[in-house]
């Protein structure tokens, strides 16, 4: 099966300790407070499966599926002198699926295009504008070239956050609700250059 390649990746859960400060601002009564803070984030495990089909030496068609255990990312405690309630996330595990194709040309040139769909991981009850998660669609195109000593690539990606209406969200410590309608677009341009020694 020389035209086919398969792969699998497992990334274990990791813990990252953050330290810095928090800032609290209140309009009435006027108050501004800054204090040292620490927090531990437990990033989830994930599994990715991939398949590549090369019908000729100039074409490469790929598919990836990823499952991330966001359900383990349930709560974040911020430790500081003036305590605050823990940030309750209660996210759920989700999938993303990606398809792509690359075409190679003479002279080391290549062009690529791709599409990705990512499932929403945040239920309405725990939705926050800090992470306005929705189902997402992403489209990308790219151009690159390999020479004897150099390689470079440039790519553009357009991502669409599917419109989402949130109702029944939990109240924040300040009494605000995140209920509402959310949608977004994101444009990204990347450039990379490599040098062989």
What is the CATH classification number for the domain harbouring 79? 2.40.160.60
Overall domain count for the chain: 1
pTM, whole model, 2 decimals? 0.81
Residues 6+ apart with CB under 8 A from 28: none
Largest distance between two CA atoms of the chain: 71
Residue 143 belongs to what domain range? Answer: 4-195
Give tens-digit pLDDT for 70-125.
998 888 888 998 888 888 888 999 999 999 999 999 999 999 999 999 999 998 88
Structure tokens at 91: 């996210």
Residues 6+ apart with CB under 8 A from 9: 47, 48, 50
Please tell me the predicted confidence (pLDDT) of residue 109. Answer: 97
Given its phi and psi angles, is residue 175 left (phi above 0), alpha (psi -120 to 50 degrees) or beta? left
């Amino acid at each position: 099966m020389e035209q086919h390649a398969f792969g699998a990746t497992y990334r274990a859960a990791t813990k990252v300790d953050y330290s810095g400060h928090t800032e609290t601002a209140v309009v009435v009564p006027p108050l501004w407070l800054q204090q040292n803070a620490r927090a531990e984030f437990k990033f989830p495990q994930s599994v990715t499966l991939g398949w590549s089909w090369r019908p000729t030496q100039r074409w490469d068609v790929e598919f990836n599926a990823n499952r991330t255990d966001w359900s383990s990312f349930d709560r974040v405690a911020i430790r500081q002198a003036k305590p605050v309630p823990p940030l309750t996330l209660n996210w759920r595990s989700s999938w993303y699926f990606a398809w792509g194709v690359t075409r190679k040309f003479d002279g080391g040139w290549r062009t690529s295009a791709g599409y990705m769909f990512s499932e929403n991981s945040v239920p309405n009850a725990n939705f926050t504008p800090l992470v306005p998660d929705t189902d997402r669609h992403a489209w990308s195109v790219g151009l690159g070239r390999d020479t004897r000593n150099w390689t470079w690539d440039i790519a553009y990606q357009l991502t669409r956050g599917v419109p989402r209406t949130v109702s029944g969200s939990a109240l924040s410590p300040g009494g605000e609700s995140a209920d509402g309608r959310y949608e977004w677009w994101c444009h990204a341009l990347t450039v990379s250059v490599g040098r062989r020694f």
